[in-house]
Chain A
Amino acid sequence: MHLSREAIVEGVQRIVGPEDVITDEEVLRESSHDRFRLYEDVHGVYTQPIPAAVAMARSTQQVAEVLTFANEHGINVVPRTGRTATEGGLETAVADSIVLDGSAMNQIIEIDTYNMQATCQCGVPLQVLEDRLREQGCTTGHSPQSKPVAQMGGLVATRSIGQFSTLYGGIEDMVVGLEAVFPDGTVTRIKNVPRRAAGPDIRHVIIGNEGALCYITEVTVKLFPYLPQNNVFLGYTLESMKTGFEILREVMVNGYRPSVARVYDPADAAFHFSHFAEEDQCVLLFMAEGPAGIAKATAEGIEAIVARHQECRKVDSEFIATWFNDLNWGPDKIAQEREEIRQTSNICRTTEISSDWGCINEIYENALRRVVNEIPDITMAGGHSSHSYINGTNMYFVYFYNVVDCEPEEEATKYHTPINRIICEETLLLGGSIVHHHGLGKARTPWVKDEYGSSYYILETLKRAFDPNGIMNKGTIIPK
């Protein structure tokens, strides 16, 4: 059953052709991890087992054949497209894995502005789709910070969320139909309908599976009208996060749907807004968009709510508009960050959680207090809330630390994992979720059973049913 590396390579070559199988050592090393091991990567250290090959699939058929082959021989497969994962989801956790890359499947299949749907293969970069749509006056409404680089397959597989989610929703609200391939080679297509009650919504087996159940080969998403001319920006400084959360809640509970609603604590605000916020101030900001009347009414409603809180001081909207323009994480920022890490040994990490309104401030305060008190060499700890719902919100913890007296491969053990543990513990204690949108990956699987409680039964049964041989992205979602 267990094949040698050479036999794995040969097997995959027979399916996709030798040209599309990469065994170059440097490429294989870079393909063994993702942003979770950024610190190692910057120092050229690779601690994960090196995969046997990276295979570029060019069709659903090829994906099916590779998965069948891997399934027959018990070979671990790591699905990937845009490679922007942050939680270890792309780590090749076992030796001799096959990294199955869908970025060559990059065709936009159809843009249907009458039915407001667009269909594309898994390897289409979101930026490319979005640019094409905007030419026709439409948008996906999906704008994660990774937009310049991320691709559709991965965005769906990780249940990603974008900056404008408070209006448009997360990817799960945008997906219409899908095509996905399961480990035994079965190709499944879920058709495009606006809604149905034909049994459980099986799309949710696929959306967010993080490559642990199947390989997403095609996605259809909803379209929305693109009306940037109606965008309204609002910004305020205020004294406390508690008030900030309160205001976000009031906005949501009173029925407003801004596309952006955020509150930054002083530490995080210092990074972004020191040109208009004082050192100990929080920053609250909103964006309203859509048809002109709605954008205007939304903005007015929000202004009225904020006005009831004396501590809020309005800032010129131009500050917010300008800031928004430069938010996305393009390749130049990524490159600059690497150099900075290399020189300063200082690295930024994030952990994002969610909870209901009643607990969020307590989780924020408790987690932050513990991080600052228990973890050495912290240079910044703070965060912001950026995705609100009628019944709660997220908290995006941002923290920087100097890596001191520590080998690159020890960085996660010494700093990142203990911080994750603190944040997850404090969140679970008060009934929140340990991961809002980055995915469990491998980084947060230690807490997955606590996260699920008795419903873990459903998750593990799905895994047993669809991936009995355990070949799909071992260690992701379900701990190894």
Chain B
Amino acid sequence: MRFAAILDGTIGTAPQQARALGDFLREGLIGDLVGETLVVYHDERDKQRLVELSPTRDVRLIKTPARRPDRMVEILTAVARGEGIPLFLFAGGSAGTELATRLACRTNGAVLTDALSIEVGPERLLCRKNVYSNHMVGRFELSARPRCVTIDACWKDGRSPTSLEHHVLSDTDETGGIGTTPFEDLELVDPPSTGDLAESRFLVVAGYGAGNREGVERIAEAARRMGASFGVSRPVAMNAWAAMDRLIGVSGTRTAPALCIVVGASGAPALHWGIEKAAFIVAIDLDERAPIVRNADAAVLDDGVVIVEELAEIIAAEVSR
């Protein structure tokens, strides 16, 4: 089956889109598929970079005006109708959702957002996605062509894309005859910084088991050496062993790191809620029965301050190699 992956170069997330699509094509797309990337761009200076990012060998370039999703939908509709491409893939997000939905509407196709995987068989195409507030995974059959699918954000931080030898098949200019836009006075600003904690990929959390302020400070230093962000549980903050803005959990920050090391915290619900979305949790605690131990992927039963300092040394040594 043919597919077209859309790389939207008119917005600033092209590298993330490319990585996500690349990982998805490698690991999330199951079946006999061959495809190309449709790179949409508005600035000539971006072309080379966008081509190099593309997750497939074959690339087609389409020039459009900046930030005109309405125009992009028209162009993609023409492509879909003209070439009968049965599957369009978009990176997840607002832009992808809009494009996929509107494209499916105009072509009487099917749309599904935030796909975890796509399975293409001889008879049917099945997508898996999280439903019921991430309590379950649903399997959906998409029965109309083209299928317009956006992929789940969980693919966003996979490996770096492998370098491909790209082949540019065409470069068309669709900037003419664009009609009026319903949007005026566009102003793009950076999102407000939520601090290092919310965005952190590697987090160390210190709990009451650190014992005292000095213990907390040692853990914080170890976190810094490991290149991790540092947060604390509520008892630590309430004891003024660390600043309140380091607070993780219900009354503080909710995080979703790839790796979270919890040191000397029992993992009570308040804290756990702040770290439960971590991909991998390590608990370091003296108490085998602390809830954090069974809610962790791996646990070390020992003095947290000592272990985390040892770990920091090991990691620092590895990184410098």
A residues with a Cβ closer than 8 A to B are 19, 22, 24, 26-27, 30, 56, 103, 125, 131-132, 148, 330-332, 334-335, 338
Selected contact of A331 from candidates B212, B235, B249, B291, CB within 8 Å? B249
- What is the CA–CA distance of A51 and B268 in the complex, to the nearest angstrom? 28
Q: In the complex where A19-B212, A332-B269 touch, is A30 in contact with B238 (Cβ < 8 A)? A: yes
| Nearest A residue (CB) for B212 | A19
Selected contact of A132 from candidates B250, B273, B289, CB within 8 Å? B289
Contact A331 B240 (CB under 8 A): no
| Nearest B residue (CB) for A30 | B238
- What is the CA–CA distance of A131 and B240 in the complex, to the nearest angstrom? 29
Does B160 reach chain A (CB closer than 8 Å)? no
Within 8 A of A (CB), among B235-255: 235, 238-240, 244, 249-251
- What is the CA–CA distance of A30 and B251 in the complex, to the nearest angstrom? 13
Does B166 reach chain A (CB closer than 8 Å)? no
Contact B251 A19 (CB under 8 A): no
Contact A27 B239 (CB under 8 A): yes
Closest beta carbon of chain B to A24's beta carbon, Å: 3
Contact B273 A22 (CB under 8 A): no
Contact A331 B250 (CB under 8 A): yes
- What is the CA–CA distance of A338 and B212 in the complex, to the nearest angstrom? 29
Q: In the complex where A331-B250, A335-B250 touch, is A26 in contact with B269 (Cβ < 8 A)? A: no
Question: Quick one: CB contact mask for B287-317 with A, threshold 8 Å, 1 for yes?
Answer: 0010100000000000000000000000000
Contact A22 B239 (CB under 8 A): yes
Does B81 reach chain A (CB closer than 8 Å)? no
Q: What 9 pairs between A and B have smallest CB-CB spacing? A: A24-B240, A331-B270, A335-B250, A331-B250, A19-B212, A330-B269, A332-B250, A27-B240, A332-B273
4 further A-B contacts with Cβ under 8 Å, apart from A30-B238, A334-B250, A338-B251, are A131-B291, A331-B251, A331-B269, A334-B251
| Nearest A residue (CB) for B208 | A104
* Complex A-B: 28 CB contacts under 8 Å: A19-B212, A19-B213, A22-B239, A22-B240, A24-B240, A27-B238, A27-B240, A30-B238, A56-B239, A103-B235, A132-B289, A148-B268, A148-B269, A330-B269, A330-B270, A331-B249, A331-B250, A331-B251, A331-B268, A331-B270, A332-B250, A332-B269, A332-B270, A332-B273, A334-B250, A335-B250, A335-B251, A338-B251
* A-B CB contacts (within 8 Å), total count: 37
- What is the CA–CA distance of A56 and B213 in the complex, to the nearest angstrom? 14
| Nearest A residue (CB) for B249 | A331
Report B-chain residues with C-beta under 8 Å of the C-beta of A103. 235
Question: Quick one: CB contact mask for B121-164 with A, threshold 8 Å, 1 for yes?
Answer: 00000000000000000000000000000000000000000000
Within 8 A of A (CB), among B247-267: 249-251
- What is the CA–CA distance of A19 and B215 in the complex, to the nearest angstrom? 11
Report A-chain residues with C-beta under 8 Å of the C-beta of B239. 22, 27, 56
Report B-chain residues with C-beta under 8 Å of the C-beta of A22. 238-240
Question: Quick one: CB contact mask for B208-248 with A, threshold 8 Å, 1 for yes?
Answer: 00001100000000000000000000010011100010000
Contact B244 A331 (CB under 8 A): no
Report B-chain residues with C-beta under 8 Å of the C-beta of A338. 251
Report B-chain residues with C-beta under 8 Å of the C-beta of A148. 268-269
Report B-chain residues with C-beta under 8 Å of the C-beta of A132. 289
Contact A331 B273 (CB under 8 A): yes
Closest beta carbon of chain B to A234's beta carbon, Å: 28
Question: Quick one: CB contact mask for B259-287 with A, threshold 8 Å, 1 for yes?
Answer: 00000000011100100000000000000
Report A-chain residues with C-beta under 8 Å of the C-beta of B273. 331-332
- What is the CA–CA distance of A330 and B273 in the complex, to the nearest angstrom? 11
